[in-house]
């Protein structure tokens, strides 16, 4: 069943929509949660919570891309769960990948009030579409899926140092792009 059909089932409040959603995206949801959370119970809770959030939010929302919508819910839930679990401690793997982006993503204090996270996200998407495919894929694997450098290197048959260089270059270009677009101070 395709995404449009699943969304229609959700709008009709048909419980089969969740079964179809699980059938189509369960492995991906577990993959995302598993790269952020180490405990199987926490992963399961986040995946199930994301399905519940989809059920609760559609309607009134009608996402244009159900896969991205669901993945974002899983990832946000997992990040919130890790914040809760670690309170004062930090998850080294997730912290490292997010810290890498801290120089090129505004923290919200330096950008104007009228710039939303959604606008920033769209700007980053525009930037990524302008990058060579391999750079774009490496960037997404690292910062969306939270893959390690080693996992990315293995996935794309690259050297780990090459992956690190790709990421460094893309972050540098992203920072320049966001400065030019007015999202970051020079």
Closest alpha carbon to 67 in 138, 144, 132: 144
Q: In the chain, which residues fall in CATH 1.10.1740.10?
A: 3-89
Q: Where are the beta strands (DSSP E) in the chain?
A: none
Do 70 and 21 touch, CB atoms closer than 8 A?
Answer: yes
pLDDT at residue 106, as a whole number:
62
Q: In the chain, which residues fall in CATH 1.10.10.10?
A: 96-180
Which CATH fold topology does 96-180 show?
Answer: Arc Repressor Mutant, subunit A (1.10.10)
Residue with tokens 């992956």: 163
Q: What is the pLDDT of residues 59-69, one digit of tens each?
A: 999 999 999 99
Q: What is the pLDDT of residues 138-176, one digit of tens each?
A: 999 998 888 889 999 999 999 999 999 999 999 999 999
Global pTM exceeds 0.85: no
CATH of domain 3-89: 1.10.1740.10
């Amino acid at each position: 069943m395709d995404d449009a059909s699943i969304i229609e089932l959700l709008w009709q409040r048909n419980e089969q929509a969740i079964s179809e959603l699980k059938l189509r995206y369960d492995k991906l949801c577990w993959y995302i949660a598993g790269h952020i959370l180490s405990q199987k119970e926490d992963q399961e809770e986040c995946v199930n919570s994301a399905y519940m959030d989809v059920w609760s939010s559609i309607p009134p929302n009608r996402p244009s891309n159900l896969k991205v919508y669901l993945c974002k819910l899983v990832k946000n839930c997992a990040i919130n769960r890790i914040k809760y679990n670690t309170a004062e401690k930090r998850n080294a793997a997730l912290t490292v990948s997010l810290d890498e982006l801290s120089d090129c993503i505004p923290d919200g204090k330096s950008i104007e009030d009228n710039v939303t996270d959604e606008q920033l996200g769209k700007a980053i998407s525009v930037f990524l579409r302008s990058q060579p495919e391999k750079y774009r894929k490496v960037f997404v694997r690292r910062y969306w899926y939270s893959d390690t450098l080693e996992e990315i290197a293995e996935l794309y048959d690259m050297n780990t140092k090459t992956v690190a260089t790709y990421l460094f270059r893309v972050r540098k270009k992203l920072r320049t792009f966001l400065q030019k677009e007015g999202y970051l101070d020079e």
